[in-house]
Amino acid sequence: MHTVTTLADLRPATEALRASGTLALVPTMGALHEGHLALVREAREAADHVAVSIFVNPRQFGANEDLDAYPRQLALDSALLEVEGVGLLWAPSPEEVYPQGYATNISVAGVSEGLCGADRPGHFDGVATVVCKLFNQVRPDIAFFGEKDWQQLAVIRRMARDLDLTLPHVEAIHGVPIVREADGLAMSSRNAYLSADQRATAAALPREMRAAIARLAAGDPAHSVLPALTGELLEAGFDSVDYAELRHGDNLAPTAGAAPGTRLFVAARIGGTRLIDNMPVVG
């Protein structure tokens, strides 16, 4: 695996790979877990070469968020990617990505609003901006993102469509299903923040979401199921629930109940850790 940290070295490295086949990109912020490795494995199936980026993007963290605490383990990540047969690791510094004088921001209206967009102002601008830059830097044929960050995926698809990005078409942006721990908790680099007690509590998130979906499927109205879900999460030990909402999976428009295409989206906090999850609501 070739590790590259400067734009000057990146272009020849990606061109060399593209000369002998298709190139897939898996953008990450590192602290890799099985969820990331699932993205890498899908990318390997789909393309001749795989590039992974590891960049903890300061622009997608709010002033009071965990930028400094975010786990960084480049040597370990690099070893994991080597085993997975990744050809290129793109690991730039913040100065390389946002040099002195950097002044451009990409803001995607609509799908960025509500859900995490309401609780994390500016977050999706930071994501859209860095992903646009990563696409232009690496110039992949296809790219892979986890469905745990469903809203992020919707923002990236909208941005790629709207800006006519260099990827051949929007279908080139692939969502990969959530990878879960044995007790159902969605894998996330932020799970590392949880104490043993908090980790046990966290399992209530997928469990109570599944229970809420079962009630919706049985015909209980969303206006009673969603507040009850919030109550169950608080009861289980979560400190607060940022949102528990039903939205259409494609455009993230609010839906009233278990209509086709609906997903349940939840964000809840334990101590300083904010966990998110989403699941399809089968009517």
In the complex, which residues of this chain contact ligand PAF (CB under 6 A)?
Answer: 27-29, 57, 60, 127, 130-131, 149, 152
In the bound state with ligand PAF, the residue whose beta carbon lies nearer, of 58 and 257, is: 58
Min dist. Cβ of residue 202 to ligand PAF (A)? 19
For residue 166, the 8-state DSSP code is S
From 173, 105, 104, 108, select the one nearest 140 (Cα to Cα): 173
Min dist. Cβ of residue 217 to ligand PAF (A)? 30
Phi, psi of 263 (to 5 degrees): -125, 155
Min dist. Cβ of residue 83 to ligand PAF (A)? 20
- 33 is annotated as an active-site residue: no
Find the catalytic residue in 36, 49, 174, 248. Answer: 36
Amino acid at 24: A
Phi, psi of 122 (to 5 degrees): 85, -15
Would you mind telling me the total number of residues written for the chain in this entry? Answer: 283
Which residues, including other chains, have CB under 8 Å from residue 178's CB and lie 6 or more apart? 35, 146, 147, 148, 186, 187, 277, 278
Rounded CA-CA distance 211/208 in Å is: 5
In the bound state with ligand PAF, the residue whose beta carbon lies nearer, of 52 and 246, is: 52
Which residues, including other chains, have CB under 8 Å from residue 176's CB and lie 6 or more apart? 38, 39, 42, 144, 145, 146, 147
Min dist. Cβ of residue 106 to ligand PAF (A)? 12
Min dist. Cβ of residue 176 to ligand PAF (A)? 11
Question: For the chain, how long is the longest CA-to-CA vector?
Answer: 58
Please identify every residue annotated as catalytic. Answer: 36
